[in-house]
Amino acid sequence: MDENKQSAELQNSEVPHKRRKRYSGTHPKKFSEKYKELNPEKYKEDVAHIIARGATPAGMHISIMVQEILDFLNIQPGQIGLDATLGYGGHTKAMLEKLEGKGHIYGLDVDPIESEKTKKRLAEAGFGEDILTVRLQNFKDIDKVSEETGHKFNFILADLGVSSMQIDNPERGFSYKVDGPLDLRLNPQKGVSGADRLKQLTKAEIEGMLIENADEPYADKIATAICRWRGQKRPIETTTDLRKCITEALSFLPKNEQKEAIKKSCQRTFQAIRIDINSEFEVLYEFLEKLPSVLAPGGRVAVLTFHSGEDRLVKKAFKEYHRQGVFSDVARDVIRPTQEECFRNSRAKSTKMRWAVRSLRSSE
């Protein structure tokens, strides 16, 4: 066959270049369209501009109170640490830098999707398996981590907030602001979704969940509306369905009060369902119960909480361990993010930090 003809045929058989799908308007609206925000390494200037105006880029998480955590933990080269809630890895990276190449950090997370991305991101930043071990494990199992690794930890961090990359992704169902399946599972491969959970609970159980997990003042109205929708064969399958149901439940309020009330009730309701299906209070309770046994003598722990239920559990446990002499010192008051940080990252506003120091007597 003529070489020129063969070359032309090969060129014609190549798959044509597929251009990135364009979005309408000047700014992308959908999560999947925000290609610059989803590639922060490639579009650093664009991402920096988004952060500077106080927003969080899609698919990215801005770690909260990093300096306050580092100041307290006082990490030294050669120490062994545990990031009980790996997430995006921002806190982990800052702690790894303090080790100066000596020591080790174990990072735990139950999200198989995000933990793999974080492991890759940190490896590319120079933190490989020689200094960082990422484990797909719930932080309630810190005793198993300690036993299996043979280590007591010099420092432990637990950030109890949901990562922004989970909130922003409509497919995960964590936000009432965007339409998506009502999932809310931290590990989407296990357990029941939020939609399925609402089908299982009675009216009294839904009301109790909303009160216990979120202090929802309109729990009775919202639970009644959810059950009414079920009775009318209107299954609540998506985030939009639940938002509409809550809107309907609060329609009795004066018009000028409805918008803000609906917003806050949506936030609390989504929080309550998320806590329930992920057994977050039970997990936190187990973590706190096992905490003293995995801390080295003099070891330090910092915990970030984001709502009153979590903070009450942490405060009570730390206070009791201090009374028993298990902890030599604990935070008397919560530490809050600075005003500057809250401006840069609005998701920091509800954060509370508590800390404790293990006594120098041997861990049991």
pLDDT digits (tens, 9 = 90+) for 302-346: 999 998 899 999 999 999 999 999 999 999 999 999 999 998 888
Which CATH superfamily hosts domain 66-164+290-358?
Vaccinia Virus protein VP39 (3.40.50.150)
Q: What is the pLDDT of residue 361?
A: 76
Q: What is the pLDDT of residue 220?
A: 98
**What amino acid is encoded at 199 in this protein?**
K
Spatial distance between the Cα atoms of 232 and 238, rounded to a whole number of angstroms: 16
Q: What is the pLDDT of residue 36?
A: 46
Spatial distance between the Cα atoms of 88 and 310, rounded to a whole number of angstroms: 21
The neighbour count for residue 5, using CB atoms within 10 Å, is 9
pLDDT (tens, 9 = 90+) of the chain, 364 residues, equals 455 555 545 444 444 444 545 545 455 554 444 444 445 555 556 545 554 554 545 556 689 999 999 999 999 999 999 999 998 999 999 999 999 999 999 999 998 888 999 999 999 999 999 999 999 999 999 999 999 999 999 999 999 988 777 777 888 888 999 999 999 998 888 999 999 999 999 999 999 999 999 999 999 999 999 999 999 988 999 999 999 999 999 999 999 999 999 999 999 999 999 999 999 999 999 999 999 999 999 999 999 999 889 999 999 999 999 999 999 999 999 999 999 999 888 889 999 999 999 999 755 4
Q: Is 328 helix (H, G, I), strand (E, B) or coil?
A: strand
Beta bridge partners, 300, equal 155, 357
In the chain the beta strands, taken as DSSP E runs, fall at 80-83, 104-109, 132-136, 153-159, 295-305, 327-330, 352-358
Q: What is the pLDDT of residue 47?
A: 47
Residue 72: C-alpha distances to residues 75, 213, 237, 293, 343 (Å) = 9, 30, 44, 20, 23
Which tens digit of pLDDT belongs to each residue from 224-243?
Answer: 999 999 999 889 999 999 99
Q: What is the pLDDT of residue 113?
A: 86
Choosing among 3.10.50, 1.10.150, 3.30.1380, 1.10.10, the CATH entry for 187-277 is 1.10.150
C-alpha torsion sign, points 131, 137, 138, 144 = negative
- For 95, the token pair is 């702690």
Q: What is the pLDDT of residue 330?
A: 98
Q: What is the pLDDT of residue 114?
A: 87
Domain ranges of the chain: 26-58, 66-164+290-358, 187-277
Q: What is the pLDDT of residue 10?
A: 47
